A and B are shown apart, each in its own frame.
Chain A
Amino acid sequence: MKFLGFIIVCLTGALLLYGTGEFPDWGDPGSPASMHLSNDYIEKVVEQTQVPNLVTAVLADYRGFDTMFETAVVFCAGLACFLLLRDFREKKERFYRHVPTGVILHVKDSKKILKTGKEFEHMDKDWVPSDLIIKTVCRILIPFIQIYALYVVAHGDFSPGGGFQGGVIFGSSLILLAISYDLKTLVRRIKEKVLGIYAAVGVLIYVGIAAICMPMGGNFLDYSKLAPLVPGDPHHIRALGMLGVEIGVGIAVTAVMVIIYINIVSEGRHDEGL
């Protein structure tokens, strides 16, 4: 069976490689892709949208529907992870540490819950003492990562980047917090409900900005009709619309990344993880 699979993979690969022989060369001006639409974008994007980064203009404006449903797909990924993995049952055994003495208690009765606070401290089963150096470095690093993520979102119109990348970077800064301290630190700072609400709000911001265009007299996602709502230069309205949409994408992606991480690493219990 394994041999058969290997042969099928080799055949498919050979066919695909054979197919690439027909492809136009990289950057070939005579290829169909660069003969019709690309020239139009390159010539007219700055004039039409005031956005110097063509990729962002194409993604968030010309192909706005595509990006909207991509955001919805990311949201669905978070939702699926939650529905598949989330486990609301209480864990059978718990570990507590008596803070003044350092004695570790192993509680096997699931009904018996010790009050955590000054005296007792909840502990992970495979707990390792977090290293002071790692903690300190991560504590210093995380705010800079987050600032950079916000920069990537806000500067998506002018340089590479945008909502997806910025959201992923922001989400990974939160994941870094969970890894360098422990999962509880993250869960205590950002509640599960808040994460879910953020994920939904991000998608709603995108759809909302797109939908507001309709009562203003335009099509769905036609940002130019938003001009009366926003003070300032009306020529920049498309760029501002894209920025708003990117912020929505960033919020949704951040929340979904953290939801997926927490659910995977704690087997859906949200109590202990890496």
Chain B
Amino acid sequence: MHWPIDLIVLTFVIFCAIAAISVKDLLATSILFGAYSFMMCLLWAVMGAVDVAFTEASVGAGVSTVFFVAAVFRTSRRTKD
């Protein structure tokens, strides 16, 4: 049986995106952004754009998550709205 892997990954991407904007805890949001980036990276890799996938993995899932966590560490962890 052939699994449409890109559809599965796309579902995860949308799930992560919706979770990231609805969660109140900003630390959880930054981790969810990391997961979102990783899923996007998988999606790029499935489509054969390996260079873009590499960039997404290193910049999106790696360093920008660290920046988000650092910013949350220095500000507040809860959103007002």
Interface residues of A (CB under 8 A from B): 26, 53, 55-56, 152, 160-162, 164-165, 168-169, 171-172, 175, 179, 257, 260-261, 264-265, 267, 273-274
Contact = CB atoms under 8 A, between A and B. Distances in A.
Nearest to B73: A274
A172 B73 contact: no
Given A171-B63, A175-B63, A265-B70, 13 more contacts: A53-B51, A55-B51, A56-B51, A152-B54, A160-B50, A160-B51, A160-B53, A165-B59, A168-B58, A169-B62, A261-B63, A261-B67, A274-B70
A168 B59 contact: yes
A273 B63 contact: no
Contact of A273 (B51, B55, B58, B70): B70
Contacts of A273: 70, 73
Contact of B70 (A55, A56, A261): A261
Contacts of B69: 274
Contacts of B71: 264
A164 B54 CA distance: 10
B31 interface: no
Contact of A165 (B47, B58, B67, B73): B58
Categorize the interface residue count of chain B.
Answer: 10 to 19
A172 B63 contact: yes
Nearest to B56: A165
A164 B55 CA distance: 8
A9 to B, nearest CB: 10
B81 to A, nearest CB: 8
Contact of A175 (B47, B58, B66): B66
Please name the 8 residue pairs, one residue from A and one from B, whose CB atoms are nearest each other, closest first. A265-B70, A160-B50, A55-B51, A168-B58, A264-B70, A160-B51, A160-B54, A165-B58
B74 interface: yes
B5 to A, nearest CB: 14
Given A168-B62, A175-B66, A26 B47 contact: yes
Given A55-B51, A161-B51, A265 B59 contact: no
Contacts of B62: 168-169, 172
A274 to B, nearest CB: 6
| Most chain A CB inside 10 Å of its own CB: which residue of B54, B73, B74 | B54
A169 B67 contact: no
Given A164-B55, A165-B54, A172-B58, A265 B74 contact: yes
A260 B74 CA distance: 14
Contacts of A169: 58, 62
Contacts of B53: 160
Interface string B31-75: 000000000000000010011011100110011001101110110
Given A160-B50, A160-B54, A162-B51, A168 B63 contact: yes
A8 to B, nearest CB: 15
